[in-house]
Amino acid sequence: MAGYGGTSLNIQWLQGAGTTVLSGDFLTLTYDSSVDMKEETAGADTNKQYIAFQKDGKLTIAGNIQSGTAAGGTVMLSTMTEGNFGTIIFSPEGTAASKPKYTVPAYSEGPKLDYAYSDLSKWTCDFQQSGTRVEGTN
Contact yes or no for 104/55 (Cβ under 8 A): no
Separation CA 62–CA 9 (nearest Å) = 13
For residue 1, what pLDDT is reported? 59
For residue 136, what pLDDT is reported? 97
Is 46 inside a domain boundary? no
Is 71 inside a domain boundary? yes
For residue 133, what pLDDT is reported? 97
Query: Which helix or strand (DSSP H or E) is residue 135 part of?
Result: strand 134-137
Contact yes or no for 93/100 (Cβ under 8 A): yes
Is 43 inside a domain boundary? no
If one counts the domains in the chain, the total is 1
Is 77 inside a domain boundary? yes
Is 3 inside a domain boundary? no
What pTM, to 2 d.p., does this model score?
A: 0.90
Contact yes or no for 81/14 (Cβ under 8 A): no
Is 98 inside a domain boundary? yes
Chain CA centroid to CA 125, Å: 8
